[in-house]
Amino acid sequence: MTPDASPSEVVTELTLLEKSSLTSGAGLWTTKPIDRLDVPVLVFSDGPHGLRKTASGDLNGEPSTAATCFPPEVALASSWDADLIERVGAAIGAEAQAAGVNVVLGPGVNIKRSPLCGRNFEYLSEDPFLSGHLGAALIRGIQSLGVGASLKHFAVNNQETDRLRVSAEVDERTLREIYLAAFEIAIKEADPWTVMCSYNRVNGTYASEHPWLLTSVLRDEWGYTGLVVSDWGAVNDRVAALRAGLDLEMPSSGGTTDAELVRAVEDGDLPEEILDRSVLRFLRLAGQIVEGRLSPTKWNGGSDTPGRHHDLARQVAAQCVVLLKNDGTLPLDPAASIAVIGELARTPRLQGAGSSEVVPTRVDVPLDEIRRHADPALPFAAGYGLEEDRRDPELEAEALRVASQADVVVLFMGLSAQDESEGFDRTHIRLPDNQLALFDQLAEANPRIVVVLSNGGVVQVADWEAGANSIIEGWLLGQAGGGAIADVLFGHVNPSGRLAETIPLRLEDTASYVNFPGELGQVRYGEGVFVGYRHHDAVDGPVSYPFGHGMSYTTFAYSDLLVASSGSDQKFHVEVRATVTNVGARPGQEVVQLYVAPPPGPISRPRRELRGFAKIDVEPGASTDVRFELGWRDFAYYDVVAGGWQCDPGRAVIEVGASSRDIRLSTSVDVDVPARSVSITPDSPLAEWVAHPGGRAALNRSMTTSPGNGVNQFLTDERIRTLGGFPLRRLARFPGAGLDPTVLDQLAEEVNRS
């Protein structure tokens, strides 16, 4: 296609078979070209944290090549830094462009409903606000290079168990507020060129053939105009999927489903306009890609790109590291007597396993990087093996010997590739037993222990952390993580990562515990909107480390919280300002978090919800002002009865803090919106009648009163308490009710008008 070819004109020139052929892949990663009309081949390749080029032959027979392995999403999210993530996206976009890849399959913004989800390393957070905004940043970055992103997996794909069939049973409010919200934010903010539907079913219907999801919500409500692609192999019924709004099936179906579409159109079962609609979206994407190739931001190569991107990967990884605990042992003095223990220091885990696995351009080994900063001959012992969770007395004895001769032990612990991967969920969140056994012995032999964790999903720390002086949560940090860890250990970088997910005391404390991963093909999201910190805060339960937590080598003080509200109803708006001062001795970065506690209303709501965040640099002794804007939607909930977003009037609490459990400043603001209007009908319960303005007075007027007290027998407070649930129409039929059943409609009208 030439850049000025109009997709709608091209559609009219295509035959029915050609049109059908454009709605499915040619191979694993490519679509079909139509040479006579210059419709190009589109090339997809996995992300989200680097380019995964396969040796499938689809990339013009190129052999599989290496790409920069940036920190996976679990780590990226801990940076809480949208600008930095956008830079990662741009670097991935540049590598994609250079490799001839047109669409990068990521980011994934599915919510971490349970720490057990085997693919949590590939997702951002337990919170939709954070996931949505950080996902948007990655999309913006990738697309700035004229390469498309694919926002995945739409929707409610929060587990690997039975992922191709399981039906996520979720109520609409929970869908809207939690599981769809991250997609909504990312789509509205960054307009991804493609959205990938998930494998699973949502309330009984495959996501790939869900008209409500793919058309009513995604397009009609959110205004999305891009292309919906299936997850690889997610199409169950091609005709139903096309009707529902799934434009492109990937990978190739060998022509089978193209023929099905042709037949359905010819038989009159599928209106051709529906096929045209999807073809048009495909051609628009092709047009964007052709234009992208010519775009002035086109990456112009340069021989040192791997080097520059590796440096970026290191800089980013250092921002993702979360200092969970520190008694002052960190940062380390390079001249101190240090021993490094743990196979993971020598054999680092860069990323999770499955479709997102990138072949790195090079790997920084933590042990080497630590030695570079300190004694080049600094002692090391493996302590445990990674292949299986089996104790090895020789390795343990050697580790104890090495540790006992040092002042500080830096112990690497974590999960291995076999513990977590796409395709299956974990069954527990403990570290391997062989590592925990080693930890206990080291804690006895050497009182100063710094633990460095490598894990894609959350691990339990409650059972051992008392024995550690400092803990660094390193997640999976990509190919340059080794250098980043050394930078943080020795204080060349002041840690600024914050938890994007709660570390619970026990798996049993998590909200989805009794409903994960479901059974008999269904998983019930029984905890509703109370996911992650929303649950822990609602039950006021202790956690090991809360959402948003992370320490620094400096200290920040918060002051001067100011809120100013303006507008009313849907224009209601609040400006929030606060000042953060670095009262320590080192430059550092703070992640200022804004939570909103909604006004009390008719439905049960989380105690606080993240509605803003800002990562700021502050020099010692200096102060920085942060400013947030809140709109009507930030105070709203999804009202399933009214079928829309609803905001209640009242006093909301605005909290600014350093984690969901470390609120430093708070104040309240009046939410200036009209009260929810409840319409009264003759079938409304008595309690609703009397609660309605004018309702009690109307009933008093229309009901005969008892001779004794001048009040109808059903209108005493005591009776209302016990009989308030009765619909008025039924009460009116009771003997002696004193209410004419024929006037109820008129009475309801009067009350509704009052």
Q: How far is the CB of 158 from ligand BGC (least distance, A)?
A: 13
Q: How far is the CB of 354 from ligand BGC (least distance, A)?
A: 7
Helix H, strand E, coil C: the string for 210-269 is CHHHHHHHHHHHCCCCCEEEECCCCCCCHHHHHHHCCCEECCCCCCHHHHHHHHHHHCCC
CB 351 within 8 A of CB 414: no
- Cα(438)–Cα(396) distance, integer angstroms: 6
Half-sphere exposure of 528 (CA within 13 A, CB side): 9
- Residues 6 or more apart whose Cβ sits within 8 Å of residue 447: none
Q: How far is the CB of 466 from ligand BGC (least distance, A)?
A: 39
Q: How far is the CB of 53 from ligand BGC (least distance, A)?
A: 12
Q: How far is the CB of 273 from ligand BGC (least distance, A)?
A: 30
CA distances from residue 132 to 79, 214, 512 in whole angstroms, order as listed: 14, 18, 21
| Residue at shortest CB range from ligand BGC | 355
Q: Which residues bind ligand BGC (CB under 6 A)?
A: 46, 105, 152, 231-232, 355
Q: Which listed residue (46, 162, 231, 639) is catalytic?
A: 231
Backbone angles phi, psi at 575, to 5 degrees: -105, 130
DSSP state of 743: G
30 or 582, CB closer to ligand BGC? 30
Q: How far is the CB of 105 from ligand BGC (least distance, A)?
A: 4
- Cα(53)–Cα(47) distance, integer angstroms: 9
Q: How far is the CB of 502 from ligand BGC (least distance, A)?
A: 25
Let me know if 678 is exposed, middle or buried by CB neighbors in 10 A (0-12, 13-18, 19+): middle
Closest CA to 108 of 172, 41, 163, 174: 163
20 or 230, CB closer to ligand BGC? 230
355 or 702, CB closer to ligand BGC? 355
CB 387 within 8 A of CB 427: no
| Alpha helices for 34-116 (secondary structure H) | 73-79, 82-99
Rg (CA), the chain: 29
79 or 230, CB closer to ligand BGC? 230
135 or 383, CB closer to ligand BGC? 135
29 or 547, CB closer to ligand BGC? 29
**Which two structure tokens, joined as six digits, stand for 395?**
């390795």
47 or 342, CB closer to ligand BGC? 47
Q: How far is the CB of 494 from ligand BGC (least distance, A)?
A: 35
CB neighbours of residue 204 within 10 Å: 11
Peptide bond into 107 cis (omega under 30): yes
Let me know if 112 is exposed, middle or buried by CB neighbors in 10 A (0-12, 13-18, 19+): buried
Backbone angles phi, psi at 737, to 5 degrees: -65, -30
Q: How far is the CB of 234 from ligand BGC (least distance, A)?
A: 8
Query: Alpha-carbon torsion 278, 282, 284, 288, what sign?
Result: positive
> Which residues make beta-bridge pairs with 594?
612, 656
75 or 511, CB closer to ligand BGC? 75
Q: How far is the CB of 152 from ligand BGC (least distance, A)?
A: 6
Query: Alpha-carbon torsion 733, 735, 737, 743, what sign?
Result: positive
* The one-letter amino acid at 78: S
> Which residues make beta-bridge pairs with 486?
none
426 or 661, CB closer to ligand BGC? 426
In the chain, what is the greatest distance between 2 CA atoms, to the nearest angstrom?
100
Give the three-state DSSP class for 606: coil
Sheet holding 380-381, edge to edge: 322-326, 470-473, 449-454, 408-414, 338-341, 380-381
232 or 530, CB closer to ligand BGC? 232
194 or 479, CB closer to ligand BGC? 194
231 assigned to active site: yes
Residue 375, Ramachandran bin (φ over 0: left; ψ between -120 and 50: alpha; else beta): beta
143 or 470, CB closer to ligand BGC? 143
Element at 614 (helix H, strand E): strand 609-618
Residue recorded with tokens 């500080």:
408
Give the three-state DSSP class for 434: helix
Query: Alpha-carbon torsion 300, 306, 308, 310, what sign?
Result: positive
**Which two structure tokens, joined as six digits, stand for 494?**
């002041």
Backbone angles phi, psi at 673, to 5 degrees: -135, 155
19 or 153, CB closer to ligand BGC? 153
CA distances from residue 462 to 137, 359, 699 in whole angstroms, order as listed: 34, 35, 59
Q: How far is the CB of 112 from ligand BGC (least distance, A)?
A: 16
- Residues 6 or more apart whose Cβ sits within 8 Å of residue 203: 167, 168, 169, 170
CB 50 within 8 A of CB 68: yes
Straight-line distance from the first to the last Cα atom of the chain, in angstroms, rounded to the nearest whole number: 63
- Cα(642)–Cα(633) distance, integer angstroms: 16
Q: How far is the CB of 233 from ligand BGC (least distance, A)?
A: 7
Q: How far is the CB of 33 from ligand BGC (least distance, A)?
A: 21
**Which two structure tokens, joined as six digits, stand for 705?**
């009163």
Q: Which residues are catalytic?
A: 231
